[in-house]
Structure 1
Amino acid sequence: ALACASMDPARTRAALLKVPFIVVADPFMTPTAQAVADIVLPVAMSCERNSCRTWWTPVRTMVKVTSYYEAKSDEQICLELGKRIKPEHWPWADDKEWCTWYLTDQLNPNGTKYDRTWQETVENPSDTSCNGTAYWDWDATYRKYEKGMLRPDGQPGFNTPTGRIELWSFGYDHWGVDPLPYHIEPPESPLSTPETYKEFPIILSGGGRSFEFFHSEHRQLPTMREFHPDPLITVNPTDCERYGIHDGDWIWVENSRGARFRQKAKATIEVMPGRVHAEHGWWFPEQDGAEPNFYGTYDSNLNNMTEAFRTGQGGIGSAIKSMLCKIYPCKDGDVLPHDVIAEKGDFAAYEPGKPYDPVEEPVVTVIK
């Protein structure tokens, strides 16, 4: 939550600390576990659990082949907790029995049920492609809309109020939200806030991936960190020269409310002059996990720059991919973001439900 998913991570932690009791279940100690958990439960990895997964299709099973320390699977944790709180709602003897219920008692969209137990799926002699996997013929059927396979009444068409493909949601009309795509400038941009742009002349974007990591995962893996030891921000060589930055320098990225983070500059023509791209999801397992550092999760966190409550129509969409900033080299003795947050609580205070500096949104003309 703190290293990756939260707009304004300091605010997120402050909110979570108001929850009376928090349990974090995770295979690894993370910044969030250190920052908010009363108890941390070690979770079993795939080879330590009996489970199944159905991301639509196919059904896949996992079979426990080993165990380590006190780690338990999600299924075990839920079952044991459920039996203590409301045993009549948790009648399954073990994780295998619960998986069988999950597989066989749930209706597919066409009203059919899966007809094999978890154990039968594991053995799966009828499927020579791979034991433990079962594919769904319905999903592999083409042109289902012509064959009446999508609607409960069996008629041709799609499962929509009109039976047709609907290029917009009629619910949007009901809610007073424009159903068609439209463009609106971010709350801060060269066009929407030209005065701010004079002092913060760089457009910052983020969210790009690198092959070594998945969001905030895998920073604790030595091989991945050997390939990619530090967070990188791409800067055009023209801007490097303009702002006294060299390739490999640690630099600060700061916005109009004083929020900032630091990453290593990568001089490259991959970005245009006046643009930078920063990596997200960074934390440093090799650093101190205790408060206020929390494995350095605030110090290189792009989300320091993002803010809650700034959304588009209907609460959809937020300005977390484009914002204004300035960049400058780090110096010895600079105050780190986690120290600012420890002292002040956040970079800038704002009332719940209100942005930091309300900006009048530009008028948008939609051509239909």
Structure 2
Amino acid sequence: MALLAITGNFDRKGGQLLEPHTFMHVSCGFTTREHDYLWENYPKNAKEPVGAPRFPLWNYLEREMQAMDMPRQILEGTPYPIRAVFALGMNARMFPDSARMFRALESLDFFVDTDLFMTDTAKYADIVLPACSSFERGEFKPYNGGLAWYTSPAIAPLGQSKSDVRIITELANYMDLPDEQLKEGYESFIQKYVLDEYGATTEELKKVDLPVKIAPIAEHEDLMELKRGLATPTGKFELKSAIIEQHPEWGLDALPTYKDPLDDADPEAYPFVFTSGSRIPNAIHSRLRNVPNNRSLRPKPTADMNEADCRRLGVKEGDRIVISTARGSITVCVHPTLSVPEGLVNLFHGYSEADANLLTDSDHLDPYSGFPAYRSIRCAVRKEG
């Protein structure tokens, strides 16, 4: 982004354009006010979110927990103990060093999860609440160009399943939480914080067969956002962050400075780069992973490696290889390909029998955002046996 600004391609057609904040971060061209609701109802005198001391910039900008620090806090109990967790579709295998996350869940006094299936994570829960799939619920959907729609469920909810928002709303009412908007429910929220400003209603949007235009979209003028002033302390595009400069105690560099993304493992002992961040289209996260038709597209955990690396290792299609890091090893099949560069090993995460994130490091996290280095772990590879 800094290069875009330096080369004059920020806030200009054909370059980087700023998008107004819209519902669920969809670039549809009109603003919504869900963040107003969050700040209006933020609990008074609440403890700092999980991860706030460790990732102060993330906390300053987002005011929400950084879940990557949750297993550490559960196990260590600092800066305060966590003894119960309510989760919506949690997938512990998405966490780096997922074995540590499972240990954390096992140590809790109480764990509630919602999901479509009894996933590996849900098996650790004391109570599992059945969630609706997208076929069984309707929701507000904004689209590019100022369009919007309220989808209709294709089928009635199966069994006792309910949408996540209905589960949260019913719990809020049962617990009599001090949040009247939450207790009123999802449709009321969408009406007040999204649609009222544009003169539309949820009932109108439910009746249409396709998305309809609800908001006018202003034509972009080059450099108009820069002239108006950006949402930074200086009002300018900052190559050096004024926020970080004002907080030297964070220990962060205010300039975008290159740092080697790889972990500090010995490159001679671990000569390959391991990545687990890519997503297999037929099994995103924990969803639909064990549906037989979906599983048949890649039934076995299989690592993609460059054909030249495979020749050097003496392995061919379907052979079994052992991938190891400082945290352990797993055995998977190999797929020689030209779609990955030499020196790289790509393995889709989520397979319980060969969990990619057993190999990743829970402390190899970006100090600015707190997000894990799923694509820059040193590893070794050998043919099985």
TM-score normalised by structure 2 residue count: 0.65
- Going from structure 1 to structure 2, the CA distance change for 1:54 and 1:328 (only over 3 Å counts) comes to same
The alpha-carbon deviation at position 91 of structure 1 amounts to: 7.3
- For 2:138 and 2:373, the matched residues in 1 are separated by 41
Matched, 1:99 2:169: no
- Going from structure 1 to structure 2, the CA distance change for 1:134 and 1:100 (only over 3 Å counts) comes to farther
One-letter identity of the residue aligned with 2:324: E
**RMSD, aligned CA:** 3.3
- Going from structure 1 to structure 2, the CA distance change for 1:229 and 1:89 (only over 3 Å counts) comes to same
The alpha-carbon deviation at position 221 of structure 1 amounts to: 2.9
Contact 2:261 2:376 in 1 (8 A): yes
Q: Which has the higher helix share?
A: 2
One-letter identity of the residue aligned with 1:105: K
The alpha-carbon deviation at position 144 of structure 1 amounts to: 9.2
Given candidates 355, 358, 364, the residue that maps to 1:304 is 358
- For 2:253 and 2:213, the matched residues in 1 are separated by 42
- For 1:233 and 1:186, the matched residues in 2 are separated by 21
* Match of residue 265 from structure 1: 334
SS in 2 for 1:212: helix
One-letter identity of the residue aligned with 2:202: W
Given candidates 190, 199, 216, the residue that maps to 1:115 is 199
State the percentage of identical aligned residues.
25
* Match of residue 52 from structure 1: 140
One-letter identity of the residue aligned with 1:106: Y
- For 1:229 and 1:282, the matched residues in 2 are separated by 12
| Residue range with higher mean Cα deviation, 6-15 or 244-253 | 244-253
One-letter identity of the residue aligned with 1:282: G
Contact 1:59 1:134 in 2 (8 A): yes
* Match of residue 256 from structure 1: 326
The alpha-carbon deviation at position 9 of structure 1 amounts to: 0.6
Contact 1:4 1:280 in 2 (8 A): no
The alpha-carbon deviation at position 20 of structure 1 amounts to: 1.9
Matched, 1:173 2:248: no
* Match of residue 143 from structure 1: 221
Contact 2:94 2:350 in 1 (8 A): no
* Match of residue 197 from structure 1: 267
* Match of residue 277 from structure 1: 345
* Match of residue 321 from structure 1: 375
How do 1:4-23 and structure 2 match up within 5 A?
4-23=93-112
Structure having the higher Rg: 1
- For 2:133 and 2:150, the matched residues in 1 are separated by 14
Cα deviation, 1:130-164, whole Å, max 9, x if unaligned, reads 546554324x5423974xxx79xxx9343444333
Contact 1:145 1:158 in 2 (8 A): no
The alpha-carbon deviation at position 84 of structure 1 amounts to: 1.0
The alpha-carbon deviation at position 76 of structure 1 amounts to: 2.2
SS in 1 for 2:283: coil
- Going from structure 1 to structure 2, the CA distance change for 1:85 and 1:134 (only over 3 Å counts) comes to farther
TM-score normalised by structure 1 residue count: 0.67
- Going from structure 1 to structure 2, the CA distance change for 1:132 and 1:269 (only over 3 Å counts) comes to closer
The alpha-carbon deviation at position 12 of structure 1 amounts to: 0.8
SS in 2 for 1:179: coil
- For 2:374 and 2:315, the matched residues in 1 are separated by 25
* Match of residue 167 from structure 2: 77
- Going from structure 1 to structure 2, the CA distance change for 1:184 and 1:92 (only over 3 Å counts) comes to closer
Cα deviation, 1:77-119, whole Å, max 9, x if unaligned, reads 12221111107745789xxx733421232269xxx72433321
- Going from structure 1 to structure 2, the CA distance change for 1:18 and 1:145 (only over 3 Å counts) comes to farther
SS in 1 for 2:361: coil
The alpha-carbon deviation at position 2 of structure 1 amounts to: 4.7
Contact 2:321 2:382 in 1 (8 A): yes
- For 1:87 and 1:180, the matched residues in 2 are separated by 43
- Going from structure 1 to structure 2, the CA distance change for 1:243 and 1:132 (only over 3 Å counts) comes to closer
Contact 1:218 1:224 in 2 (8 A): yes
The alpha-carbon deviation at position 308 of structure 1 amounts to: 1.9
* Match of residue 40 from structure 1: 128
One-letter identity of the residue aligned with 1:20: D
Contact 1:79 1:90 in 2 (8 A): no
Contact 1:168 1:180 in 2 (8 A): yes
Long gaps (5+) in structure 1: 125-129, 284-296, 332-368
* Match of residue 222 from structure 1: 292
- Going from structure 1 to structure 2, the CA distance change for 1:210 and 1:61 (only over 3 Å counts) comes to same
The alpha-carbon deviation at position 45 of structure 1 amounts to: 1.8
- For 2:194 and 2:223, the matched residues in 1 are separated by 20
SS in 1 for 2:174: helix
* Match of residue 156 from structure 1: 228
The alpha-carbon deviation at position 254 of structure 1 amounts to: 0.6
Long gaps (5+) in structure 2: 1-89
Contact 1:83 1:89 in 2 (8 A): no
- For 1:208 and 1:160, the matched residues in 2 are separated by 32
* Match of residue 278 from structure 2: 208
SS in 2 for 1:303: helix
- Going from structure 1 to structure 2, the CA distance change for 1:59 and 1:184 (only over 3 Å counts) comes to same
Cα deviation, 1:158-177, whole Å, max 9, x if unaligned, reads 34443333344311212332
